[in-house]
Amino acid sequence: MDETHKKILQRNRVKLVTVLDPAKLCDRLLEKGVFTQDMIDEIQSAGTTRRDQARQLVLDLETRGSRAFPLFLECLRETGQQSLAELLQNGAPAVTLQPATPTKLEIQPLPISSPMDGDKPSKVPDCPLEKPSTTPSPSPNGEQLRPKPPGRIRRDSIQNYKMDASPCGHCLIINNMEFDPQTVLSNRKGSNIDCEKLERRFKALNFVVEVKTNLKQRQIKCELSALSKKDHSQYDCCVVIILSHGTEVNHNRFPGAVYGVDGLYIPVQHITNYLNGQHCPSLQGKPKLFFIQACGGDEKDTGFEVSPDEINASFGGLDDQTDAIPMSSSSDSLSLSDEVDARATLPTPSDILVSYSTFPGYVSWRDTQAGSWYIETLDRILEENGSTDDLVTMLMMVNNEVSQNSAKGLYKQMPGSFNFLRKRLYFQTQAQ
């Protein structure tokens, strides 16, 4: 598809997903050769809601040829969706539809070898001359559709998680702000701002949100155990968010650990175990999401130089703090080593995603007035893109934006995630 038409679809994706009626379009798009029958079947099985199917249709449309966009407009008009057609036509360059013509297959004869080399065998191509076969159906721009190599997974074969239960699921937020004075952990000013944002956001995403504040290690375990014992059979998802100090620990699955207010930590891999298929059967096959706003260690990343054209730098406040336990006499000192504690093998628990505010081993920055970089960005991305983009795509947006921040004009932060989801995950939105 022409790049201009792609941008028009992307710019109007929210509107399309909100009002488009895929049921009326599928037969027309199939008749005009915009989609194949397999693609139509995939769209119809993309989800139980009209929005899921509309989202899949728009995503697939962007992968088609240059004739796909004008043919799509024709289908909209023919099915009574004139207002959408006019919305997309506005600003789009005029396109003259040309008949799709298959590419001609030219067969070149093999060169005739001569006996000039004596008994030496003549050289021939490594592969034999292909015999003419049935020509595959052309795509809307006249290009031949290449057969799929065996074993390759098509992008349009990836399914979406079922996310239409109401409510969608439970969301547990643990917000540790005030730590025992006998520990070396400082109070986390600004964490209440993060907590309030996330509580509002996940309520808007149709989750039952429960907030627990200033928990000791034992209390964190009790809350996770209680969550695992709930009956989730009527829900589609479960979310755990932990806002606390953190550190780097040895592990064999998920790196890092978070602290209770008593100065005792619990490894992230133990946190995820509470909701795995063995300990919480009613969540088997359903997405379990963990968001960790805590340091992964005490390393401070000073970044590396890039061309000014590659990044739009933004600077954090002068009062930025980290969520790391200090590992030396000065919290501003820089360690010269970074020991990676990951093992060579990594088990793959299914349907779990752990999103970290920072790369394992490094500090995570928090503005005492505006909240943490990671949570502030995550909340905004979910608000702006939740109705059109899947979770993994939105987390990449978060990674990109947070990576452009600077603390005290020097230090950087790089969020990331361990993703063991098997399908795309689209949250519910209020417009749905």
Residues 257 and 375 in one domain: yes
Whether 256 and 248 have beta carbons less than 8 Å apart is answered as yes
More confident: 330 or 212: 212
Residues 88 and 174 in one domain: no
Torsion 121-123-125-130 (CA) sign:
negative
More confident: 400 or 230: 230
**107 belongs to a structural domain:** no
- How does 114-134 read in b/e, with b if 16+ C-beta sit within 10 Å? eeeeeeeeeeeeeeeeeeeee
The backbone torsions φ and ψ at residue 243, rounded to the nearest 5 degrees and listed phi first, read -115, 110
Whether 378 and 291 have beta carbons less than 8 Å apart is answered as yes
Inform me whether the pLDDT recorded for 379 exceeds 50: yes
Strand 257-259, strand 246-247: pairing: antiparallel
**Predicted pLDDT at 67:** 87
Distance between CA atoms of 81 and 72, rounded to whole angstroms?
A: 11
**Predicted pLDDT at 43:** 83
**248 belongs to a structural domain:** yes
**14 belongs to a structural domain:** yes
- Choosing from 60, 93, 126, the residue where a domain stops is 93
Q: What does the block give as tokens for 130?
A: 């292909």
Q: Which regions of 318-388 does DSSP assign to beta strands (E)?
A: 320-322, 352-356, 365-367, 371-372
Q: Which domain holds residue 252?
A: 169-327+345-419
CATH number of the domain bearing residue 320: 3.40.50.1460
pLDDT tens column, 32-83: 888 888 788 778 777 668 888 888 888 888 888 888 898 999 999 999 998 8
Distance between CA atoms of 138 and 150, rounded to whole angstroms?
A: 21
Lowest-pLDDT range, 118-122, 135-139, 418-422, 428-432? 118-122
The backbone torsions φ and ψ at residue 56, rounded to the nearest 5 degrees and listed phi first, read -65, -40
**Predicted pLDDT at 362:** 60
Residues 270 and 409 in one domain: yes
Residues 86 and 173 in one domain: no
Inform me whether the pLDDT recorded for 406 exceeds 70: no
Residues 383 and 284 in one domain: yes
Catalytic residue among 245, 251, 279, 280: 245
Catalytic residue among 75, 195, 280, 295: 295
Rounded mean pLDDT, 393-400: 92
Q: What does the block give as tokens for 288?
A: 């379990």
The backbone torsions φ and ψ at residue 282, rounded to the nearest 5 degrees and listed phi first, read -75, -5
Distance between CA atoms of 164 and 100, rounded to whole angstroms?
A: 40
**Predicted pLDDT at 428:** 92
User: How many domains does the chain divide into?
Assistant: 2
Is 75 annotated as catalytic? no
Could you say which DSSP state residue 362 is in?
A: B
- How does 184-206 read in b/e, with b if 16+ C-beta sit within 10 Å? ebbebbbbebbbebbbebbebbb
**Predicted pLDDT at 371:** 72
**Predicted pLDDT at 336:** 27
More confident: 166 or 298: 166
**Predicted pLDDT at 156:** 58
CB atoms within 10 A of CB 30: 15
**22 belongs to a structural domain:** yes
- Helix, strand, coil in percent for the chain, rounding step 5: 30, 15, 55
**379 belongs to a structural domain:** yes
**101 belongs to a structural domain:** no
CATH number of the domain bearing residue 57: 1.10.533.10
Residues 396 and 250 in one domain: yes
Residues 205 and 86 in one domain: no
Residues 180 and 57 in one domain: no
pLDDT tens column, 223-259: 999 999 999 999 999 999 999 998 888 766 788 899 9
**């509470």: which residue's tokens?**
274
Q: How far is CA 14 from CA 55, 56, 63, 249, in A?
A: 9, 13, 18, 42
**Predicted pLDDT at 332:** 30
Residues 317 and 221 in one domain: yes
Which one of 100-109, 175-184, 245-254 scores highest in mean pLDDT? 175-184
More confident: 92 or 74: 74
Lowest-pLDDT range, 89-103, 164-178, 212-226, 255-269? 89-103
Dihedral angle over CA of 276, 430, 13, 287, nearest 10: 0
Rounded mean pLDDT, 332-347: 29
DSSP conformation letters of 330-347: -TT---S-------S---
More confident: 22 or 359: 22
- Choosing from 93, 122, 153, the residue where a domain stops is 93
Residues 61 and 192 in one domain: no
pLDDT tens column, 292-318: 988 643 443 333 333 344 444 444 444
**Predicted pLDDT at 410:** 56
**199 belongs to a structural domain:** yes
Residues 77 and 198 in one domain: no
Is 251 annotated as catalytic? no
Residues 175 and 82 in one domain: no
Distance between CA atoms of 199 and 129, rounded to whole angstroms?
A: 65
Distance between CA atoms of 109 and 90, rounded to whole angstroms?
A: 51
pLDDT band at 380, cuts 50/70/90? very high
- Choosing from 93, 119, 137, the residue where a domain stops is 93
**340 belongs to a structural domain:** no
More confident: 32 or 98: 32
More confident: 408 or 226: 226
More confident: 343 or 175: 175
Rounded mean pLDDT, 219-224: 97
Distance between CA atoms of 311 and 234, rounded to whole angstroms?
A: 45
Round the average pLDDT of the chain to a whole number and report it: 75
Inform me whether the pLDDT recorded for 273 exceeds 70: yes
pLDDT band at 112, cuts 50/70/90? very low
